[in-house]
Each structure stands twice: as structure tokens, then as C-alpha cells.
Amino acid sequence: MSNIVELKNIRKVYLKTAAVDDVSFIVPEKSIFGMLGPNGSGKTTTIRMITSIIMPDSGQVLFGNELLKRNHTALMGYMPEERGLYKKMKVWEQLVYLAQLKGLSAKDAKKKVFEWMDRLNIKDWWNKKVEELSKGMGQKIQFVSTVVHEPKLIILDEPFSGLDPVNADLIKNEIMRLRDEGATIIFSTHRMEQVEEICESIVLYNKGKVILDGKVDEVRRRFRQHNFSVKYEGVTPTMSDFRFKVQSTNDHEMIVKIADDAQPKDLLRTLINQDCNVISFNEILPSLNEIFIQQVTTTQ
């Protein structure tokens, strides 16, 4: 699998403070990639450098295997966190305008805009002014403007904020579909549960630096605490072995921490030897949220 974006030691300084400091990472093609981090940690600055809005002071941005050029932006779609549309313009005119700026002809732009409005059930709104729409509606229109020119790289900054669950689900499915059709999605957020659900790999930012990156499962395993959840029926088993430490017991569920020199199968064997009726046995991996908070607070 080739890479769509590669950042090599990029750095951007604003008035003596480094907004982004020596950041390098790779975004694989046709994947959903998460950029995480607290507010002001450098995510938006990085995105702006990928979209050619600003240039890095040093380092390189590669797009496809080429050095980033201005005309690459036609292959990108960017939805900023701060949403913006012309309030006084009609929905379809606005979408056609933004698509034309991405290089579509007026005719193509119009055709695709109406296809997308149909797909997201906002066709009835085509001739309304943006100021007449609800916030969620505006959000869907903004999403259309980001993807209407069929970009290879779609960058979404907090795409679900302000959406109700039904519409959030609709957009989530569209993101998945676009990925299946060959687009790459970079997804910037601080909402961890969404990342775990849809992202394949992530980078974690703090104070302008990447403090963690990799595939989601791999990252979670890297921070595993070796905690296992055991659910059983009948009598509560006893843990006399010092390698197994019971963290908590609660209504036929037990959380057990296994020492480094033991294996999960050792714990399972102990349970079976006691003739415990185990109905579920699984490892508790830390959530990205826990890792995020732990990492951000320890690096402070």
C-alpha cells in the first residue's frame, strides 16, 4: 500500500512559539486516519500545511510521492473546524461555486452537486439561502462542498460536531463509502470514541509534537495493562496465585491483572481447575481516551 501524504520533519513557528515542531508521519492511501490532540496542539496548523494554506518553515510535505504543489489542492477536500458558508447565497449556487474553484466545469459541478444533495436528503433545500437553514443542515452542505469534486484526500476537522445522531450516522456511512471507493480520509478530532470506531491509524499531538502514532489496535495493545475481564456463573473463584491480582469483583464479573511472567492461558487454567463456570473471558485494552489523557498529562 502506498502513501498519500508523508510529512518529513515539518516545523512552523508563529511569533517565536512553534505551533508544529519536527512532525513526521505517514498517511496510507485508502485508509481513515485520525489526528488527535487537545485544542491548540498543532493539528489545524498541520492540516493547513497539507492543504497548502500555509507553508512549513522547514521540512517537507509529500503528496502521492511528489513534493506538495499548489495544484494538488484540486485533489483535496477540506472541511475546517470553523464551518463557513456565504449566508446570503443559495445552497446550490454556493456548492457549484465552491466546486468550480476546485476546478470542475460549471456543468459538471451542477450535476454532481445535485447528485450529492439527493444522496444526503437535502434536495428540498437547494434553492434556500444558507441563513435559513439549521446548523445541522449547514453542516451537511459543508460536507457536500468538501467531497463534491471527488477528492483523493478528504480532510475533516471535527466532522460530527453539531450533528444529531441520525445525521452523524449518515455522514459516518458516507465517510466509509468514500474510503471503500478509494479516497483517503484524514479525520481530526478530540472525540476518541469516534476514532476507535472508524479510524485505522492515528497520530496523537501534544504541544506541537507527535507523541504517539500507529494503528489503533496496535496502540491500544502497546498500552495494555494486562487486565482481563472474567464473567462466570455460580461460585466466585478464589485467586491464591500471586501472579493474578484481583482488581475488582462485581456481580459475577471479575477484573484480574496478570503479572508479566504469566500468560492469559495460565489464568484460564486456574479458573478451570477450580471448576469455575466461565462464560466470557477477554482482555481489557485501554481506550484511546484513557491513553490520550494519560499521555497528554504525563508529557505536560
Contacts with other proteins by CB under 8 A lie at 15, 48, 51-55, 57, 70, 73-74, 76, 78-80, 82-89, 97-98, 100-102, 105-106, 142, 145
Q: Closest separation between CB of residue 277 and other proteins, Å?
A: 59
Q: Closest separation between CB of residue 12 and other proteins, Å?
A: 11
Between 138 and 237, whose beta carbon lies closer to other proteins? 138
Between 84 and 182, whose beta carbon lies closer to other proteins? 84
* Residue whose grid cell is 457536500: 144
Q: Closest separation between CB of residue 155 and other proteins, Å?
A: 9
Between 106 and 279, whose beta carbon lies closer to other proteins? 106
Q: DSSP 3-state assignment of 129?
A: strand
Between 81 and 200, whose beta carbon lies closer to other proteins? 81
DSSP 259: P
Q: Closest separation between CB of residue 76 and other proteins, Å?
A: 7
Q: Closest separation between CB of residue 122 and other proteins, Å?
A: 18
Q: Residue 129 half-sphere exposure, CB side, CA atoms within 13 Å?
A: 6
- What does the alpha-carbon distance between residue 174 and residue 176 come to, in Å, rounded to a whole number? 5
Beta strands in the chain (DSSP E): 3-14, 17-28, 32-36, 58-63, 66-67, 76-79, 153-157, 184-189, 201-206, 209-215, 227-233, 244-249, 253-258, 277-284
